[in-house]
Amino acid sequence: MTFADDTTLTRAGLPPQGRGRVLVLACGALAREIKALTRLNGWDHIDLACLPAILHNRPERIAPALRKAILRHRPNYDTILIGYGDCGTGGAIDALCAEFGIERLPGPHCYAFFSGTAAFEADGEVTSFFLTDFLARQFDAFVTEPLGLDRHPELRDAYFGNYETLVYLAQTDDDALTARAEAAARSLGLAFERRFTGYGDLADALASA
Amino acid sequence: MADEDDDIILSELSDEELVEQMMDDLYDGLKDEILEGVNILLERGWTPYRVLTESLVAGMTIVGRDFRDGILFVPEVLLAANAMKGGMGVLRPLLVETDAPRMGKMVIGTVKGDIHDIGKNLVGMMMEGAGFEVVDLGINNPVEKYLDALVAEKADILGMSALLTTTMPYMKTVIDTMKAQGIRDDYIVLVGGAPLNEEFGRSIGADAYCRDAAVAVETAKEFIQRRHNQVNA
């Protein structure tokens, strides 16, 4: 079975697939990683559904979209795990989890739980701009186009002038993807650093689902 | 449309037409045209304050309104702001020399742990355009830096900005420190940033949450007016 492509995961999301009793309702940006982990570990009890990853750029829309999805899918599952961190929602996802009695992934965002939440918080890298595998692949859809840098490259420093380094948190070893992330760093005028994180805390969170 | 615009000779327009055209040019982020328009109006004897308010601030207010209504997006606002900044560069030294109204003084900065400054810069520029003196502390400001600047600058207003939900709670740290030092009520405290809302502003003890630059200006004016009324009562 072919898996949804990145553009679909960015713009449309993914309906539930499988016949598990646990639904992971996640950001489209995590779809491949969650799928890889469930396949690798034989977690057949876990189904995956994704909201469009581009909601990342409009965090105020995430919790309302999750609410709709929870209400739609809840009758079909024993439990739901929210595959988001706080993701810039200012506690709105936590409030939703409390309301429905469900859990979400640990930490403020995917950069943190890929890095290991504790390690990420300790680092406190305020001048680093992060990419994951998904964001490296979808850099134009998430950064270049919405910020208008394709049409107005002169705006680059208004957005990124205070950043120093683009840190690529790599979930996989992929030379082509590393090259894309490095090109992204160059296009933003930032130093480049690659850190292999694997799936970080994501595996533990799914294992306990 | 662009071809039509190319044919317009700014210096041949009447004052009214020129101001209208400058507002269009500001909307389109045309910095060179704004600079030219500002210089023409000055040459025609307009006061710097009049140029500022009737062309740049008026134009930027339209940009802000259309951003709020979802007609314009961040890139377009930044281009417009950059054009206004160009005009301000010409006007700023002239405003100091002339008797432009002085509304009050604001210390503004992005909070500790946060390096995002687009919104803060827009607020600073619009406040300046409205006649406020603005001391910009930049990004990643610890509480001491805010408090030192408030005292050193004899400011009326503290403006704090944050883009991250992880950094916005630091605003409360600053306000709590002001309370502990007994200086909270000496200043008007305005807060803003994408993840904030009115409830958050109230809960941390700010005087107001400002959802955008135009609201920040109006709110600041209102609070300064109230202060004057209290002093004069």
Helix (H) or strand (E) holding B63, with range, is: helix B58-68
| Residues B91 and B163 grouped into a single domain | no
- Chain A partners within 8 Å of B164 (Cβ): 88
Instruction: Quote the tokens at residue A84.
Output: 């988001």
**CA atoms of A17 and A49, how far apart (whole Å):** 7
Closest residue in B to A143 (Cα–Cα): B75
Instruction: Identify the domain boundary among B74, B97, B120.
Output: B97
User: Which residues touch B178 (CB under 8 Å, ≥6 apart)?
Assistant: B147, B184, B187, B189
| Residues A90 and A119 grouped into a single domain | no
| Residues B222 and B163 grouped into a single domain | yes
- Chain A partners within 8 Å of B79 (Cβ): 152, 155
| Residues B93 and B40 grouped into a single domain | yes
Which of B30, B74, B116, B165 has the highest number of chain A CBs within 10 A, making it the mutation to test binding with A? Answer: B165
| Residues A118 and A89 grouped into a single domain | no
- Window 49-68 of A, Cβ < 8 Å to B: 59
Say what the pLDDT of residue B233 is.
65
Asked if A88 and B164 come within 8 Å (Cβ–Cβ), the reply is yes
Touching check for A122 and chain B: CB below 8 Å?
Answer: no
Q: Are A35 and A48 in contact (CB under 8 A)?
A: yes
| Residues B161 and B195 grouped into a single domain | yes
**CA atoms of A77 and A135, how far apart (whole Å):** 30
| Residues A135 and A51 grouped into a single domain | no
Closest residue in A to B78 (Cα–Cα): A155
- Residue-range definition of the domain harbouring residue A79: 6-107+199-207
Over the stretch A23-64, which tens digit does the pLDDT of each residue have? Answer: 999 999 999 999 999 999 999 999 999 999 999 999 999 999
| Residues A164 and A63 grouped into a single domain | no
| Residues B137 and B74 grouped into a single domain | no
Touching check for A91 and chain B: CB below 8 Å?
Answer: yes
Length of chain B: 233
| Residues A14 and A95 grouped into a single domain | yes
Distance from CA of A147 to the nearest CA of B (A): 6
Counting the structural domains of chain B, the total is 2
User: Inter-axis angle of helices B15-27 and B31-43, to 10 degrees?
Assistant: 160
Q: Is residue A178 part of a domain?
A: yes
Q: Are A160 and A129 in contact (CB under 8 A)?
A: yes
Helix (H) or strand (E) holding B159, with range, is: strand B157-161
Burial class (CB in 10 A: 0-12, 13-18, 19+), B19: buried
Helix (H) or strand (E) holding B21, with range, is: helix B15-27
Look up tokens 């030092």; give the residue: B181
Distance from CA of A196 to the nearest CA of B (A): 24
**CA atoms of B4 and B1, how far apart (whole Å):** 5
Touching check for B172 and chain A: CB below 8 Å?
Answer: no
Say what the pLDDT of residue A123 is.
64
Q: Is residue A59 part of a domain?
A: yes
Q: Is residue A143 part of a domain?
A: yes
Counting the structural domains of chain A, the total is 2
| Residues A92 and A137 grouped into a single domain | no
Asked if A108 and B165 come within 8 Å (Cβ–Cβ), the reply is yes
- Residue-range definition of the domain harbouring residue B31: 2-97
Helix (H) or strand (E) holding A39, with range, is: helix A31-41
Which of A93, A104, A120, A126 has the highest number of chain B CBs within 10 A, making it the mutation to test binding with B? Answer: A126
User: Which residues touch A154 (CB under 8 Å, ≥6 apart)?
Assistant: none
Say what the pLDDT of residue B2 is.
47
Q: How many CB atoms lie within 10 A of CB A171?
A: 22
| Residues A48 and A129 grouped into a single domain | no
- Nearest CA-CA partner of A126 in B135, B118, B163: B163
**CATH code for the domain in which residue B210 is found:** 3.40.50.280
**CATH code for the domain in which residue A30 is found:** 3.40.50
Instruction: Quote the tokens at residue B1.
Output: 């449309």
Q: Is residue A33 part of a domain?
A: yes
| Residues B88 and B115 grouped into a single domain | no
| Residues B159 and B73 grouped into a single domain | no
Instruction: Identify the domain boundary among B97, B121, B143.
Output: B97
Helix (H) or strand (E) holding B190, with range, is: strand B188-192
Q: Is residue A37 part of a domain?
A: yes
Helix (H) or strand (E) holding A22, with range, is: strand A22-27
Q: How many CB atoms lie within 10 A of CB B221?
A: 16
Low-confidence ranges of chain A (pLDDT < 50): 1
Instruction: Identify the domain boundary among B65, B97, B129.
Output: B97
Q: Is residue A1 part of a domain?
A: no
Touching check for A147 and chain B: CB below 8 Å?
Answer: yes
Strand order of the β-sheet with A14-17 is A14-17, A46-51, A22-27, A79-83, A103-104
| Residues A116 and A97 grouped into a single domain | no
| Residues B110 and B218 grouped into a single domain | yes
| Residues B223 and B108 grouped into a single domain | yes
**CA atoms of B123 and B108, how far apart (whole Å):** 9
| Residues A124 and A173 grouped into a single domain | yes
Asked if A108 and B195 come within 8 Å (Cβ–Cβ), the reply is no
Q: Compute the C-alpha angle B140/B145/B147, nearest 5°.
A: 130
**CATH code for the domain in which residue B86 is found:** 1.10.1240.10
| Residues B81 and B141 grouped into a single domain | no
Touching check for A158 and chain B: CB below 8 Å?
Answer: yes
| pLDDT by 10s per residue, chain B, length 233 | 445 556 789 999 999 999 999 999 999 999 999 999 999 999 999 999 999 999 999 999 999 999 989 999 999 999 999 999 999 999 999 988 887 778 999 999 999 999 999 999 999 999 998 889 999 999 999 999 999 999 999 999 999 999 998 899 999 999 999 999 999 999 999 999 988 999 999 999 999 999 999 999 999 999 999 988 887 76
Q: Are B41 and B55 in contact (CB under 8 A)?
A: yes
| Residues B114 and B225 grouped into a single domain | yes
| Residues A46 and A130 grouped into a single domain | no
| Residues A80 and A15 grouped into a single domain | yes
| Residues B15 and B93 grouped into a single domain | yes
Over the stretch A70-89, which tens digit does the pLDDT of each residue have? Answer: 999 999 999 999 999 999 89
- Chain B partners within 8 Å of A124 (Cβ): 113
Asked if B165 and A124 come within 8 Å (Cβ–Cβ), the reply is no
Asked if A162 and B116 come within 8 Å (Cβ–Cβ), the reply is yes
Say what the pLDDT of residue A121 is.
66
| Residues A142 and A179 grouped into a single domain | yes
